[in-house]
């Protein structure tokens, strides 16, 4: 079963072909402007490099966030377009699911996921859903914590400075194998369904004008 994975949620754009627990082909580039074009080119290279015809795909798995507004939308738009054209399912995977799927905590450790919000706070998932929090308001863990995500080092350092037992994991960004593993679990019904739509924690910065939108121009 071949799964195409797409990720542009955090600091990278990555397309990969995964089958039977192995990465057959992968293309990675730094995130930023131009994700839509970069991802499309990466997909072409991955299909060619893995010898995969589009109709051979069992699913397209894509990270839904939280993360970059532009990156998420570019990856999701491409994933939906590909899946619709091929006739395969598109499967949403959260960043927290992807980074934690790659972890093997020590006995007694609890996994937290911490993602940089780029607004002076972190998006934190302690096991009951993602929420935004200031560093000074980090909750007190009941035991040892293993922190994953791109803000793992920062959160682990804050916890340790407070006297909590915390360790930063090496899993900072979603890996194709982990994205594919979560997608397979979701397809098999071992995880609840998740819409392949952007997952935002903070409300959008864009707001409607106080007077509302202008009326549509009158028809000629």
Share of the chain above pLDDT 70, in %: 90
Tell me what pLDDT residue 195 has: 92
Q: Please identify which residue in the block is written with the tokens 């994975």.
A: 5
Tell me what pLDDT residue 202 has: 73
What's the chain's average pLDDT?
A: 91
Question: What is the Cα–Cα distance from 128 to 124, expressed in whole angstroms?
Answer: 10
Question: What is the Cα–Cα distance from 91 to 196, expressed in whole angstroms?
Answer: 6
By the 8 A CB rule, do 25 and 49 touch? yes
By the 8 A CB rule, do 200 and 119 touch? no
Tell me what pLDDT residue 23 has: 98
Please report which confidence band the pLDDT of residue 128 belongs to, taking 50, 70 and 90 as the band edges. Answer: confident
Question: What is the Cα–Cα distance from 60 to 33, expressed in whole angstroms?
Answer: 23
- Identify the CA nearest to 47 among candidates 21, 25, 62: 25
pTM comes to 0.89
Beta-carbon contacts of 104 under 8 Å, excluding residues fewer than 6 positions away, are none
User: Domain 2-95+173-187 adopts which CATH fold?
Assistant: Nucleotidyltransferase; domain 5 (3.30.420)
- For 19-55, write each residue's pLDDT tens digit: 999 999 999 998 766 666 789 999 999 999 999 998 9
CB-count exposure of residue 188 (10 Å: 0-12, 13-18, 19+): exposed
- For 74-122, write each residue's pLDDT tens digit: 999 999 999 999 999 999 999 999 999 999 999 999 999 999 998 889 9
Where along the chain do its domains lie? Answer: 2-95+173-187, 103-168
Q: Please identify which residue in the block is written with the tokens 């082909």.
A: 25
> Maximum CA pair distance of the chain?
71
Tell me what pLDDT residue 34 has: 63
Main-chain dihedrals φ then ψ at residue 22, nearest 5 degrees: -135, 150
Q: Is the pLDDT of residue 134 over 90?
A: yes
Q: Is the pLDDT of residue 193 over 60?
A: yes
């Amino acid at each position: 079963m071949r799964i195409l994975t797409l990720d542009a949620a955090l600091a990278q754009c990555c397309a990969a072909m995964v089958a039977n627990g192995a990465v057959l082909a992968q293309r990675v580039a730094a995130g930023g402007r131009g994700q839509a074009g970069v991802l499309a080119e990466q997909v072409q290279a991955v299909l060619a490099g893995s010898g995969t015809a589009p109709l051979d795909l069992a699913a397209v798995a894509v990270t839904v966030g939280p993360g970059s507004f532009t990156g998420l939308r570019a990856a999701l738009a491409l994933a939906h377009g590909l899946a619709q054209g091929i006739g395969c399912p598109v499967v949403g995977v959260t960043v927290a699911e992807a980074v934690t799927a790659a972890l093997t905590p020590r006995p007694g450790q609890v996994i937290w996921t911490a993602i940089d919000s780029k607004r002076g706070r972190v998006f934190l998932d302690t096991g009951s859903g993602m929420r935004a929090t200031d560093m000074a308001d980090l909750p007190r863990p009941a035991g040892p914590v293993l922190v994953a995500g791109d803000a793992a080092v920062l959160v682990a350092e804050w916890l340790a400075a407070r006297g909590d037992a915390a360790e930063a994991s090496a899993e900072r960004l979603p890996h194709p194998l982990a994205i594919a593993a979560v997608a397979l679990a979701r397809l098999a019904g071992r995880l609840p369904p998740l819409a392949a739509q952007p997952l935002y924690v903070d409300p959008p910065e864009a707001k409607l004008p106080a007077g509302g939108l202008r009326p549509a121009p009158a028809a000629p």
